[in-house]
Amino acid sequence: MQRIRQICVLGGSGFVGSAVVHRLSNAGYDVKVLTRRRESSKHLILLPNVQVVECDIFSDTALSGQIHGQDAVINLVGILHDSAEASFERLHVELPRRVADICCKQGVRRLLHLGALKAELNSSSAYLRSKAAGEAEVLARRDELDVTVFRPSVIFGRGDHFLSLFANVVKLLPVVAVAKPDAKFQPIWVEDVAQALVSVLENTSTYGRSIDLGGPKVYTLRELITFVAFLLGKKRRIIGLNDKLSYYQAYALELLPLKLMTRDNLLSMEVDSVCNAPMTELYGHSLTALEAEAPEYLAGDTPRSAYDRFRSLAGRGFTRRS
């Protein structure tokens, strides 16, 4: 097997991508991050061994030129909401297919792709269908490429769009109405996702495989919002909505300029985002529990306030199903 040294990352300036690029840099790889605007990736520019390059990833010529000479490509591009400007079809299906094609033409064997847990071609959710189609596109080239697909549950961490969104809602509203309150998730820390990707780069046993990623515990949506409210020290009434009211709420929120939820998000929650078995470690790396990390970036303005609230949480015996 060719020793991997140079890695091209698509989506490297985002929430997950930034964590992955930091890990790659720390591991000594030479990393090329492709971005639409170099200014948006300035937090990566000073990292050792990291080159940030402006590139139109929707141009085959531009993308091919940047992938040329690389030893591996990591595709982390993804969106939660469909739009005319950035559609599921274009980013989740067409882009993975083009990346795989270009890797084959350029002789780049190693390809890592970020999919989604419970993505299925027959899903009622357009998001999950598109994610499944993108995974199928890259895995279809497994005879020509050393492909590994990661399928995470929801990802949490500083700067996320998951727990941080709940925190903003809890801060604003005295009563929180929760659509699909019993939907289940197995949140995984962003640093654990990044560690997993870096760990398998040169692991031949992962070639041609899809790997599900989830954290150590399973939570309902109601439990997660209750947890966030506790961390913030907010007493909130949390009301679970039935299916009909959940639909009406999602429809109303979908009309807002900043989409907090859409009807497709609701459809995706009809399938529990849970792995087939609990996960406590991955490739020799222990996975981090939500309760151990979330207080640091959600509760208070200082590490001490977060620590004190976490101690209180532990003392109360806040439990979750495993």
DSSP labels, 34-51? EES-GGGGHHHHTSTTEE
Q: What is the pLDDT of residues 205-243, one digit of tens each?
A: 999 999 999 999 999 999 999 999 999 999 999 999 999
In 3-state terms, what secondary structure has residue 76? coil
CA 264 to chain CA centroid, nearest Å = 17
- Helices in 27-90 by DSSP H: which ranges? 42-45, 60-67, 88
User: Tokens 């269908």 map to which residue?
Assistant: 129
Average pLDDT over residues 99-116: 97
- Residue closest to 190 by CA, chosen among 313, 288, 306: 288
Q: Please say if the pLDDT value at position 304 is more than 50.
A: no
Average pLDDT over residues 71-85: 93
In degrees, rounded to 5, the angle at the alpha carbon of residue 63 between the alpha carbons of residues 40 and 116 is: 70
In degrees, rounded to 5, the angle at the alpha carbon of residue 270 between the alpha carbons of residues 15 and 84 is: 55
Average pLDDT over residues 254-275: 92
User: What's the mean pLDDT when you consider all of the chain?
Assistant: 91
Which pLDDT band holds residue 258 (cuts at 50, 70, 90)? confident
Please give the model's pTM, rounded to 2 decimal places: 0.90
In degrees, rounded to 5, the angle at the alpha carbon of residue 88 between the alpha carbons of residues 85 and 89 is: 95
pLDDT the model gives residue 318: 47
Q: State residue 275 phi and psi, 5-degree precision.
A: -75, 165
- Helices in 59-152 by DSSP H: which ranges? 60-67, 88, 95-106, 126-139
- Written as six digits, the tokens of 104 are 């084959």
Q: What is the pLDDT of residues 122-171, one digit of tens each?
A: 999 999 999 999 999 999 999 999 999 999 999 999 989 899 999 999 99
Average pLDDT over residues 73-77: 98
Q: Please say if the pLDDT value at position 1 is more than 60.
A: no
- Written as six digits, the tokens of 103 are 């890797």
Q: Please say if the pLDDT value at position 306 is more than 60.
A: no
Which pLDDT band holds residue 257 (cuts at 50, 70, 90)? confident
- Share above pLDDT 90 across residues of the chain, in percent, rounded to a whole number: 80
